[in-house]
């Protein structure tokens, strides 16, 4: 093996020039710039490609491992909230519905004694006045004390109650200077006290 360059053997002494020329390879300056630029762009292209692949891989990993996991967690949370909201909403709606039904039943079954007095007012003749009363809304009975202008008006008052399906028993009839005083025990249907 020969370690001495061929140019030296041929009598070309080394000029002391560095680089490839000193080894017997001659490249002109324009060619060397072009090769350098080509190499530079190739290297930059590979660097850009590597950087792009690294960024893509990082984003893909971020997407797969972090975002997908978070999306699944959020979807589960949404399902849980919807289920919870639905149960709470159903419970509230059911409670409100029960409350409305209770109010309706109370309103239907509520006894309005004022309805009784309206009915008595409608049936009472102008010539009859009531001085006292007691009403038992559970039994559907009332005790009235009144005064009529005459016996005939008392008789007409009794007929008015009977025509309205009230059972009436008159007692304690006495003639006074200002008319006829009497007591009346009346039985009625308690349904007339309910608001319909």
Give SS3 for 185.
strand
Q: Which pLDDT belongs to residue 75?
A: 81
Task: Concatenate the DSSP letters of all residues of 112-133 into one string.
Answer: -HHHHHHHHHHHS-TTEEEEEE
Q: Which residue has the higher pLDDT, 28 or 125?
A: 125
Q: How far is CA 195 from CA 4, 50, 51, 112, 149, in A?
A: 129, 87, 85, 7, 34
Starting at the edge strand found earlier in the chain, the sheet holding 167-176 runs 128-136, 141-148, 179-187, 167-176
- Please report which confidence band the pLDDT of residue 126 belongs to, taking 50, 70 and 90 as the band edges: very high
- CATH 3.30.1360.100 matches 113-193: yes
Per-residue pLDDT tens digits for 144-192: 999 999 999 999 999 999 998 889 899 999 998 889 999 999 888 777 6
Q: What is the pTM of this model?
A: 0.44
Q: Which pLDDT belongs to residue 85?
A: 65
């Amino acid at each position: 093996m020969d370690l001495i360059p061929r140019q030296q053997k041929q009598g070309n002494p080394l000029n002391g020039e560095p680089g490839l020329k000193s080894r017997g390879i001659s490249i002109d300056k324009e060619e060397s710039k072009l090769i350098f630029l080509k190499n530079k762009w190739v290297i930059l292209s590979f660097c850009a490609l590597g950087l792009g692949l690294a960024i893509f891989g990082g984003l893909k990993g971020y997407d797969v491992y972090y975002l997908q996991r978070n999306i699944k967690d959020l979807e589960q949370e949404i399902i849980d909230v919807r289920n919870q909201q639905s149960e709470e909403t159903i419970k509230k709606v059911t409670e409100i519905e029960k409350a409305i039904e209770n109010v309706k039943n109370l309103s239907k079954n509520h006894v309005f004694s004022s309805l009784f007095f309206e009915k008595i007012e409608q049936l009472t003749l102008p010539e009859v006045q009531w001085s006292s009363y007691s009403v038992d809304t559970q039994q559907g009975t009332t005790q009235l004390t009144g005064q009529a202008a005459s016996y005939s008006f008392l008789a007409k008052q009794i007929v008015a109650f009977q025509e309205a399906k009230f059972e009436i028993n008159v007692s304690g009839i006495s003639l006074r200077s200002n008319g006829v005083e009497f007591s009346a025990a009346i039985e009625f249907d308690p349904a007339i006290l309910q608001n319909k």
